[in-house]
Amino acid sequence: MANASASEYYMLTLINEERARIGVVPLRLEQRLNDAAEDHSKWMLAADIFSHTGQGGSSPRDRMIDAGFDFSGATRSGENVGLQSERGSPGIQDDVEDIHQSLMNSSGHRANLLNPNYDYIGLGIEQGDYKGYDVVMITQTFASTSGSALLDTGGGTPVPPVTPEPDPEPQGPILRRGDSADNRLDGTAGADTIHGGGGDDTLTGQGGNDEMRGNYGNDLMNGQGGADVLRGGLGDDTVSGSGGNDMIWGEPGDDDLSGGNGHDTMIGSSGADILRGGDGNDSLNGGNHGDTMYGEEGADTLSAGNGNDLLIDARGDNELRGGSGRDTVNAGSGDDRIFGDGGADTLHGGAGNDTIRGGGAADTINGGQGDDLLIGNWGKDRFVFVPGGGNDTIRDFEDGRDIIDLTAYGFGSATEIANRADMVDGDVVLSLTGGDSLTVENTLLSEMLDDLSF
What local confidence, expressed as pLDDT, does residue 91 receive? 66
Q: Is residue 176, in this structure, part of any structural domain at all?
A: no
pLDDT tens by residue, 266-318: 988 878 999 999 999 999 998 878 899 999 999 999 988 888 999 998 788 99
Final residue belonging to a domain, choices 121, 152, 183: 152
For residue 293, the cross-strand partners are 275, 311
Average confidence (pLDDT) over 50-65: 95
Q: Is residue 166, in this structure, part of any structural domain at all?
A: no
- The residue with greater pLDDT, 165 or 129, is 129
Could you tell me if 115 and 246 lie in one domain?
Answer: no
215, burial (CB in 10 Å: exposed 0-12, middle 13-18, buried 19+): buried
Could you tell me if 278 and 383 lie in one domain?
Answer: yes
pLDDT level of residue 90 (50, 70, 90 thresholds): low
Averaged pLDDT of the chain: 88
What local confidence, expressed as pLDDT, does residue 87 receive? 62
What local confidence, expressed as pLDDT, does residue 259 receive? 93
- Residue 220, CB half-sphere, CA atoms under 13 Å: how many? 6
Range of the domain at 383: 191-453
Residue 79: pLDDT over 60: yes
Average confidence (pLDDT) over 220-225: 92
Average confidence (pLDDT) over 1-19: 87
How many other CB atoms are found less than 10 A from the CB of residue 450?
Answer: 9
- pTM of the entire structure? 0.63
DSSP string, 42-63: HHHHHHT--SSS-GGG--HHHH
Could you tell me if 27 and 91 lie in one domain?
Answer: yes
How many other CB atoms are found less than 10 A from the CB of residue 101?
Answer: 11
Could you tell me if 245 and 101 lie in one domain?
Answer: no
Distance CA 230, CA 247 (A): 6
What percent of the chain stands above pLDDT 90?
62
Q: Is residue 132, in this structure, part of any structural domain at all?
A: yes
Contacts for 16 with CB less than 8 Å, ≥ 6 apart = 26, 27, 267, 285
8 A C-beta contact, residue 62 and residue 123: no
Average confidence (pLDDT) over 41-64: 96
Distance CA 424, CA 403 (A): 21
What local confidence, expressed as pLDDT, does residue 101 receive? 87
Sign, CA dihedral 321-277-274-254, equals positive
Residue 415: pLDDT over 60: yes
Could you tell me if 31 and 92 lie in one domain?
Answer: yes
Residue 157: pLDDT over 50: no
Could you tell me if 111 and 10 lie in one domain?
Answer: yes
The residue among 243, 241, 221, 244 whose CA lies nearest residue 232 is 221
Final residue belonging to a domain, choices 152, 180, 214: 152
Residue 217: pLDDT over 80: yes
Could you tell me if 38 and 125 lie in one domain?
Answer: yes
**Residue 101 parent element (H or E):** helix 93-104
Q: Which range (73-82, 94-103, 289-298, 402-411) has the least confidence?
A: 94-103
Q: Is residue 67, in this structure, part of any structural domain at all?
A: yes
Measured in Å, how far apart are the chain's first and last C-alpha atoms?
42
Domain count, the chain: 2
What local confidence, expressed as pLDDT, does residue 171 receive? 41
Average confidence (pLDDT) over 161-190: 62
The CATH number that applies at residue 148 is 3.40.33.10
Could you tell me if 129 and 221 lie in one domain?
Answer: no
Residue 156: pLDDT over 60: no
Residue 168: pLDDT over 50: no
